[in-house]
Amino acid sequence: MHFISWWLGSAEDGSDHDRSSSSIASESDCRSNTDLDAFENQPTVKDFQALRDRCLAEGTLFEDPEFPANNFSIYHSNPPKKGEREFEWKRPGEIVPSPKFVTEGFSRFDVRQGIIGNCWFISSCSALTSHQELFERVVPLDNGQFEADHYAGLFHFRFWQYGQWVEVIVDDRLPVGKNNQLLFISSSEKDEFWGALLEKAYAKLHGSYEALDSGTGREGMVDLTGGITEFYQLKGNEPDDLFERLESNLARRSLITAGINGNERERVQSVNLVPQHEYSVTKVTRLDATLHMLDFGAGNAVDVRLICVRNPWGRGEWSGAWGDHSLEWIMVRDEKMEELNIVKEDGEFWMNFEDFVHHFDDVSVCYQCPGDMGKELRARYPREMVSEMGEWKRSATAGGSDENSFWSNPQYVLKLAHHEGYEADSRISVTIGLMQKHHRAKGTSFLSLRLLVFPIPNHVLTGNRFLPKSFFDNVIPVETEANFETTREVVGRYKLPPGRYVVVPHTWKPQQEAEFMLRIFAEGSVTKLCYCAGDVIG
C-alpha cells in the first residue's frame, strides 16, 4: 500500500505535492542488501515530527486521509451487513477524562484482545513488552502523552517488513461501541492507549482491521522484531530437548508464543484453555525437590519443570495442575512462590511442562537478530547472520521441484566455520528462513515453499556461476525428508559441519513467480560466497 508522502507540503510554497523521502525510518543489522519497491516512499521520523509541529502551529488535530475514520478502515473487502454492530470513532480524550499513552511503564498485561480474531498479534505484543529496547523501537517514546503542549492527535510506530523498518503514522481516532468500549485492543488500565494505537497502525499497514483476523504468532513476532522464527509441533512430535531449548532462548531474550488448534475443543475447554487461540510464553523454571519443595515426610518429592503462559484476553486460565488455584503450590516454599509471582486471574498461569506439550499444539520461538542483542548476550551466544533478496521468475529462475529444472532455481553458496575456541570437528547450529513476499490487504495466496541445503565437496569449484544440473544429480541434501509448507516463512534448523554449502529456495510447482527473502543465522561464522539467480551473479 502507498503511504502518505504529501502531508508535509513544500516549506517554500506551502503546497501539498508528491515528494520522495527516505525509504525507511531506521535500520538494524537485519537490513538486507536489496530494498523492496513496495516500501520506497515511507514517512520518516522527521515527517512525524514536522507533521506534529504543523498541527500544533495551526491548532488542529491530525486526521489521517489514508486510514479514515469510516467502514473502509474496518472491513477488508465486504461491506458490513445492515444492522451489524454499530460503532463510532472517538479520540482517547473523548473516551476517558485523562488519557495516557503509557501509564507507569508497559507490561505484558497492558494488551487485551477485542472483537477481532488477532490473538496471534496480541500475544506477540505481550511477549514484546518484556524486551524494553525492542519495544521502544516499535513504540517510540517520542510519541509523548496527551498533554496539550505536545498533543496533535497523531502517533507513529515501526514494523519490520521484508528486511526493513517501516514507519507508520496514524491519527488517534479509535472505533468504540456502547459505553465507550474500545472494539479492538484495550488495556488493563482503562486510561492507557499505546496498545490500541499500535494495533491501529498495524491495521493500516495491512489495509484494515479485518485483515488482521487470523494469523500466527510467528508472523506477529517477526513483524515486531525482524527476527527469525522456529516452529515446533507438540503432542509427541516435539524434540526431546524442547524444554532446554525454550530455557536457552528465553535467556537469549527470544520471544515465544504457543498455539492451540480447534481439533479437540471439548477436551481443551474442560481445563479452561481456549481452542484456536494463541498464547504467549513468558517464563520457564525448574523446581528442585530439595531446594524449593517442602518435605512432608513422605520422601516422594520430585523435580518439576514448569512453563508460564499468558492468555491475551487477560483472563481465562488453565485449571489443571500448577494453575493459580492448584493444590500443588502447597508443596512449594514461600520464597520460591514469591519469586514465581503467583497472581490470581490475570490471564497468566503456570503449568507442568508435560501438560503443556499434551494440551498445546505448537510453539513458535523468535530469535533476535545479532545486531539487536546486547554486548553481553552476543558474547555469551555468538551468532552471525546474512540475508539476500531474490525472486522466482518464469522461464528463468522458477525451476520448482521438477528434477529437470530444479538446478535453475536461485542458488546461495555459503561457507560455515567455527568461531575461535570451538572444537574443529563439532557441528554448527544453523537456522535458515525463506520468506515469501505477501500482503494481507491484497489477500495474496501463499505458494508452497521448501528449502534444500546441499554440501559442496572440496573438489567442486564454485566461482561466480550456477552449479549445473549434473551437480544436483550427484549430491544428497542434508535433510532428505524436508516437506513443502504453504506459509509466509519456511524455517529450517540444521547441525552442519564446517564447510561449503549451497542453499536452494524453491516452490513446489515450476514457473511460479514471487519475490522472497532468504536469511541465514549461524552460531558460528557464515560467509556468503556467491548468489546466482538467472542473470544475477553476486
pLDDT for the residue numbered 498 = 94
pLDDT for the residue numbered 19 = 24
Position 331 pLDDT exceeds 60: yes
pLDDT for the residue numbered 254 = 87
User: What cell numbers appear for 239 in the block?
Assistant: 524434540
pLDDT for the residue numbered 424 = 65
pLDDT for the residue numbered 108 = 65
Q: List pLDDT tens digits, range 151-183.
A: 999 999 999 998 889 999 999 999 998 888 899
pLDDT for the residue numbered 146 = 87
Mean pLDDT over 338-359 rounds to 87
Give me the sign of the Cα torsion angle 307, 313, 319, 323.
positive
Does 119 participate in catalysis according to the annotation? yes
pLDDT band of 6, cuts 50, 70, 90:
very low
Position 519 pLDDT exceeds 70: yes
CATH of the structural domain 228-366, one choice from 3.10.290.10, 3.30.365.10, 3.90.70.10, 3.20.20.140: 3.90.70.10
Query: Pick the catalytic residue: 311, 359, 409, 506?
Result: 311
Q: List pLDDT tens digits, range 299-330.
A: 556 889 999 998 877 788 999 999 988 888 88
pLDDT for the residue numbered 296 = 64
Q: What CATH number is given for 382-532 in this structure?
A: 2.60.120.380
Query: Pick the catalytic residue: 156, 206, 277, 506?
Result: 277
Which residues 6+ apart lie within 8 Å of 15 measured at CB?
A: 9
Lowest pLDDT segment from 68-72, 264-268, 472-476: 264-268
Beta strand ranges found along 72-120 (DSSP E):
88-90
Position 21 pLDDT exceeds 60: no
Does 311 participate in catalysis according to the annotation? yes
- Mean pLDDT across the chain, nearest whole number? 83
Mean pLDDT over 365-384 rounds to 72
Q: List pLDDT tens digits, range 94-127.
A: 999 999 988 876 666 667 888 888 888 888 888 8
Listing DSSP states for 334-355 in one string gives HHHHHHHT--SSSSEEEEEHHH
> 123, 156, 191, 163: which is closest to 33 by C-alpha?
163
Which residues 6+ apart lie within 8 Å of 176 measured at CB?
A: 87, 88, 89, 90, 95, 182, 183
Query: Pick the catalytic residue: 119, 308, 366, 369?
Result: 119
All structural domains of the chain with their residue ranges:
36-224, 228-366, 382-532
* Higher pLDDT pick, 295 / 500: 500
Lowest pLDDT segment from 102-111, 208-217, 350-359, 512-521: 102-111
Position 26 pLDDT exceeds 50: no
Mean pLDDT over 259-286 rounds to 89
* Higher pLDDT pick, 300 / 264: 264
Position 58 pLDDT exceeds 60: yes
pLDDT for the residue numbered 43 = 66
Instruction: Report d(CA 117, CA 517) in Å as an integer.
Output: 28
pLDDT for the residue numbered 202 = 95
Identify the residue whose cell numbers are 525507511.
24
**Dihedral angle over CA of 219, 221, 222, 226, nearest 10:** 170
Position 383 pLDDT exceeds 50: yes
Which residues 6+ apart lie within 8 Å of 371 measured at CB?
A: 28, 29, 30
Instruction: Report d(CA 251, CA 369) in Å as an integer.
Output: 15
